[in-house]
Amino acid sequence: MNIAIDMMGGDFAPEAAAKGVAAFLAKHAGAAHLQLVGDKAALETLCKQHQISPDRTSIIEATQTIGYHDHPVKALREKPQSSIAIGFALLAGGRSDAFISAGNTGAMLVGSMFSIKPMPGVLRPTIATIVPREHQKTGLLLDVGINADCKPENLNQFAQMGAAYAKTILGIDEPRVGLLNIGEEEGKGNLLAQAAYPLLKQNTSIHFIGNVEGRDILEDSADVIVCDGFTGNVLLKLLESLYPITKRQGIEHPYFNRFHFEQYGGTPVLGIEKPVIIGHGVSGTEAFMNMISLAEKMIATRFLDDMSKSFSKDLA
């Protein structure tokens, strides 16, 4: 399997990506071949420096870079030699089996939608975040930002995609799915939640446990919590702010160390045909290593094939 990595994306590029590659290779003896996309001279130097074996990697030159402030659609069109554009070209053309970047999120989403495309039957692809919980448990919250305005059918599909991810990638046998809401009983909530509830209840491919509230997000409640991308994005950014606050306050505790979101690596774009993983701008060594592992697992488990089948079945 070939995994393409945008070495130029992220605040600490290309060093962080190179260290992540080195860490992955040292830890995993597997068959994954890593395609390092970026500035050739810089990458050759870094590969030597971090003893990255040329047997398990290849450098693919990208002479342009998409910055954080570039307009996603324009940048992809006007910079065909950028690491993001090349990564998507490799993936779309079948020369790579997954693509990872911690660069411009907007460009990554545009590439996911237009170079790779949603699975037939999927109305809106989604991105999720891991939520740290007590006793080393985690939850999965989605959508966390692609879909600011949602229809009830979108939430129902997020539930299905999130449950599949929780099962195959996070290893949770029969993931409990909850609808984020502002009351426990059916019929509570805003118009979206009220309309989504019956769809989730009727969805036989998930184990729906009903409404969950804000207080349940960090509790051992639903394994998968679905909400619109506005609410999810606000929640994600609030949760991400806790770790730096505790550091500033001098609170050093294993519980809050798990709010260091970097350790979870990136989030895959769920609902598109091929594995695309988007990393946080501040991704460091660990994040890159984890994203490569995640890509490897997504390819090895044929996770997206199964998901695609499940949605095409709904279409038939």
Chain residues in the site for its own copies (CB under 8 A): 134, 145, 148-149, 180, 182, 189-191, 193, 213-215, 217-219, 227-231, 233-242, 245-246, 248-249, 251, 253, 255-256
Nearer to its own copies, 234 or 300 (CB): 234
Nearer to its own copies, 256 or 260 (CB): 256
* Distance (Å, whole) CA 136 – CA 144: 22
Nearer to its own copies, 235 or 304 (CB): 235
Nearer to its own copies, 131 or 299 (CB): 131
User: Whole-number minimum distance, CB 249 to its own copies, in Å?
Assistant: 5
At 309 the three-state DSSP class reads helix
* Distance (Å, whole) CA 3 – CA 97: 6
Nearer to its own copies, 134 or 306 (CB): 134
User: Whole-number minimum distance, CB 260 to its own copies, in Å?
Assistant: 14
Q: Chain centroid to CA 7: how far?
A: 17
* Distance (Å, whole) CA 275 – CA 306: 13
User: Whole-number minimum distance, CB 207 to its own copies, in Å?
Assistant: 22
User: Whole-number minimum distance, CB 171 to its own copies, in Å?
Assistant: 24
User: Whole-number minimum distance, CB 164 to its own copies, in Å?
Assistant: 24
The b/e string for 265-295 (b: 16+ C-beta within 10 A; e otherwise) is bbbbbbbbbbbbbbbbeebbbbbbbbbbbbb
Nearer to its own copies, 54 or 187 (CB): 187
Nearer to its own copies, 86 or 193 (CB): 193
Alpha helices in the chain (DSSP H): 15-27, 40-49, 72-78, 83-92, 105-111, 152-168, 191-202, 229-248, 254-257, 285-300, 303-315
User: Whole-number minimum distance, CB 235 to its own copies, in Å?
Assistant: 6
Q: How many residues in total does the chain contain?
A: 316
User: Whole-number minimum distance, CB 251 to its own copies, in Å?
Assistant: 5
Question: What phi and psi, each to the nearest 5 degrees, are found at residue 220?
Answer: -80, 70
* Distance (Å, whole) CA 225 – CA 204: 17
Q: Is 21 exposed, middle or buried (0-12, 13-18, 19+ CB in 10 A)?
A: buried
